Structure 1
């Protein structure tokens, strides 16, 4: 499915293990409960797609676009997300376990009740990003865009900042 335009398609419940969705266009697609285990979706555009309860275990999502997408309850275990635009996406209850999130834009996103575990978490967030009930561990720092400008927050400052926003996340040291 490399480079195909599947915008608006309903692939819900599909099993696509080790498939190639590289540069595919899945704008507004329904992918509820889809299983993309070990697939490659580098550069794919999932803007506005519904990936509720999707299994994205070990999927390469580098440079993908999830603007306004719904990933509620999705499994992103050991997934690679480098250079991803997930602005205004919903990731409520999503499991981000052992995933690499580097240069990911979460501005305006909902990460409430998400579970993180030992993730590289070098992401960009803003005052609209919702961390209520988020729990687990991450390697920071995060890039914060606020009313007072932009700043990087890491370590104990990041833990405190997340706690102030309703999260219970421990920031681990050691990974850059």
Structure 2
């Protein structure tokens, strides 16, 4: 925690928090633009309204973290753990999420636009009223994933799990599948743009 105290007294500098343990911290409202949290432990940490613009959160453990209203624009979340994290109302424009465990995470009202989601586990996640726009959306979902009010456009396909088995769903079938669950998403063909 000495590193955090030192950073808090230096205005306008990026925090170098690589491999540090931030458990028990409340970092709500902090400006962590371009900061490094690679391989750090942020499990259960409050980051409500925090600015993580261009922050590197690669392989960080954010299990149960509260990122409500956080600015995650252009953040690198590759291989991060977001299990049961709360990202309600967060701004994830152009964020990168490759190989992320976001099972049971809450993305209610989150703006996930122009982001790259590849190999993201969203089983049990809540995407109520989330907004998508031209995202690579290669995610895993199941019947407990909430899609009510989900809108926007994506490049699929997604993997739909039922127990241990899964099947790929894309194109018009994916639009219908999401529509049956209360969402309205346009599935784009590669090289196309939304209508």
- Which digits, 9 at most, give the CA deviation of each residue in 1:122-163, with x for residues without a partner? 000000000000000000000000159310000000000000
Alignment of 1:5-24 (within 5 A): 5-24=21-40
Partner of 1:173: 189
How many equivalent residue pairs? 175
Q: Which residue in the other structure is 2:18 paired with?
A: 2
Establish whether residue 62 from structure 1 lines up as the match of residue 78 from structure 2: yes
- The structure having more radius of gyration, on CA atoms, is 2
Q: Which residue of 2 aligns with 1:29?
A: 45
Q: Secondary structure at the match of 2:152?
A: strand
**Where does residue 124 of structure 1 map in the other structure?**
140
d(CA) in 2 for partners of 1:47, 1:174: 33
Taking structure 2 as the reference length, the TM-score comes to 0.88
Please state if 1:143 is matched with 2:143: no
Equivalences for residues 17-96 of structure 1 within 5 A: 17-96=33-112
Question: What are the ranges of 5 or more consecutive residues in structure 1 without an aligned counterpart?
Answer: none
Partner of 2:10: none
* Cα displacement (A) at 1:98: 0.1
Q: Distance in 2 between matches of 1:113 and 1:161?
A: 16
Provide the rounded CA distance (Å) in 2 between the counterparts of 1:64 and 1:49: 12
